[in-house]
Amino acid sequence: MNSQGDRQDLRSMRRFAMQLPVQVKLNGRETLATTRDVSARGVYILTDHDGFASENSIEFTLTLPPEITMTQCIRVSCSGRVIRVEADPRGKFGVAALIDHYRFLDSSEFES
């Protein structure tokens, strides 16, 4: 049995539905995407690009808005691995990824 409900039961961290901008590195190039949900250990990204595959490494940068941080925008650089890729009915791709490492970026590291 591996239904959506079973998958949710296996999660150890609560997921929060958040549509956040995310820059994802794919084949040496950066692409813009949006998160669907985020937890302390993982993220689900919606993207137009289909170059992702399970077990591949992934690097991405989340931008947390002032509504969440209660201050200024904060960017978080993350690395991890793709655990699942799904096509959705709208022609986008859902990328579920585990976060292995992250670090908060200093404002001097922001791209202009």
From first to last of its 112 residues, what are the pLDDT tens digits of the chain?
344 444 444 456 788 999 999 999 987 889 999 999 999 899 999 999 888 999 999 999 999 999 999 999 999 999 999 999 999 888 899 999 999 999 999 877 665 4
Asked whether 46 and 34 are in contact (CB, 8 A), the reply is: yes
Rg of the chain on CA atoms, in Å: 14
DSSP assignment, residue 26? E
Residue spans of the domains in the chain: they are 11-109
Predicted pLDDT of residue 110: 60
Asked whether 73 and 65 are in contact (CB, 8 A), the reply is: yes
What's the CATH number for 11-109?
A: 2.40.10.220
